[in-house]
Amino acid sequence: MTIKPNLIGGEWLEGSGAIESINPSDTRDSVGHYAMADAAQMRQAVAAARHAQPAWAATTTQVRSDLLLKTALEIAARKEELGELVSREAGKTRAEGMGEVLRASQIFQFFAGEAVRYGGENLPSVRPNIGVQISREPVGVIGLITPWNFPIAIAAWKLAPALAFGNTVVLKPSQDTPGVAWELFRILERNGLPAGAANLVNGRGSVAGEALVEGVDAISFTGSVPTGRKLAQSAVANMVRIQLEMGGKNPLVVLDDADLATAVECAVNGSYFSAGQRCTASSRIIVTAGIHDRFVDALRQRMRTLKVGPALAAGVDIGPVINQGQLDMVQSYIQTGRAEGAELLEGGQVLERETPGFFMQPALLAGTNDMRINREEVFGPFASVIRAQDYEQALALANDTDYGLSAGICTTSHKHASHFRLNVKSGLAMINLPTAGLDYHVPFGGTKASSYGPREQGSYAVDFYTLSKTAYVGY
| Residues designated catalytic | 245
Which of 67, 201, 279, 430 lies at the binding interface for ligand NAD (CB under 6 A)? 279
Q: How far is the CB of 150 from ligand NAD (least distance, A)?
A: 6
Angle, nearest 10°, between helix axes 94-117 and 79-90? 120
Which contacts qualify for 461-464: CB closer than 8 Å, 24 or more apart?
461/111, 461/114, 461/157, 461/161, 462/114, 462/118, 462/136, 462/161, 462/165, 464/139, 464/161, 464/218, 464/220, 464/241, 464/243
Q: Name which of 166 and 205 has its Cβ closer to ligand NAD.
A: 205
Any idea what DSSP says for residue 318?
B
> How many C-beta atoms lie closer than 10 Å to residue 316's C-beta?
21
Residues in binding contact with ligand NAD, number by CB under 6 A:
28
Residue list 193-232, contact with ligand NAD (CB under 6 A): 205-206, 209-210, 222-224, 227, 230-231
Please say which residue, 67 or 433, places its beta carbon nearer to ligand NAD: 433
Whole-angstrom distance, CA of residue 216 vs CA of residue 198: 13
How many distinct helices (H) and strands (E) make up the chain? 14, 25
Hey, which residues between 390 and 419 contact ligand NAD (CB under 6 A)?
A: 405
What is the maximum span of the chain, computed from C-alpha positions, in angstroms? 78
Cβ atoms of 204 and 175 closer than 8 Å: yes
Q: How far is the CB of 204 from ligand NAD (least distance, A)?
A: 6
CB-nearer residue toward ligand NAD: 109 or 146: 146
Residues recorded for the chain: 475
Our CB check for ligand NAD shows the closer of 46 and 145 to be 145
Are 403 and 449 spatial neighbours (Cβ–Cβ below 8 Å)?
yes
- Using rule CB under 6 A, residue 453 touches ligand NAD: no
Q: Do the Cβ atoms of 408 and 266 come closer than 8 Å?
A: yes
Contact of 346 with 336, CB cutoff 8 Å = no
Residue number with CB closer to ligand NAD (61 or 224):
224
Nearest distance in Å: CB 222, ligand NAD: 5
Least gap, CB of 305 to ligand NAD (angstroms): 27
Give, as ranges, the residues between 236 and 255 that touch ligand NAD (CB under 6 A). Answer: 245-248
* Residue 154 beta carbon to ligand NAD: minimum distance, rounded to whole angstroms: 6
> In the complex, what is the shortest distance from the CB of residue 292 to ligand NAD, in angstroms, rounded to a whole number?
28
Neighbours of 194 (CB within 10 A): 15
- 377 contributes a contact to ligand NAD by CB under 6 A: yes
Which residue number, 208 or 299, has a Cβ lying nearer to ligand NAD?
A: 208
Label residues 368-404 b or e (16+ Cβ within 10 Å = b).
ebebebbebbbbbbbbbbbbbeebeebbebbbbbebb
Q: 138 - beta bridge partners?
A: 466
> Which of 74/210 has CB closer to ligand NAD?
210
Binding mask 145-184 for ligand NAD (x = CB under 6 A): xxxxxx---------------------xxxx---------
Nearest approach, Cβ of 464 to ligand NAD (angstroms)? 13
The whole-angstrom separation of Cα 387 and Cα 403 is: 20
Minimal distance, residue 473 CB to ligand NAD, in Å? 40
The dihedrals phi and psi of 110, each to the nearest 5 degrees, come to -60, -45
The amino acid sitting at 264 is V
- Ranges of H-type helices in 400-475: 414-423, 462-465
Residue closer to ligand NAD by CB (options 30, 206) is 206
**Least distance CB 3 / ligand NAD (angstroms):** 18
Phi-psi region of 348 (alpha: psi -120 to 50; beta: other; left: phi over 0): left
Determine, following the binding rule CB under 6 A, whether residue 53 of this chain makes contact with ligand NAD. Answer: no
Nearer to ligand NAD, 24 or 247 (CB): 247
What is the C-alpha end-to-end distance of the chain, expressed in Å? Answer: 68
Nearest to 183 by CA among 33, 75, 297, 314: 75
Q: For residues 402 and 424, what is the distance between their CA atoms, to the nearest angstrom?
A: 13
Residues of the shown chain interacting with ligand NAD in the complex, contacts defined by CB under 6 A: 145-150, 172-175, 205-206, 209-210, 222-224, 227, 230-231, 245-248, 279, 377, 379, 405
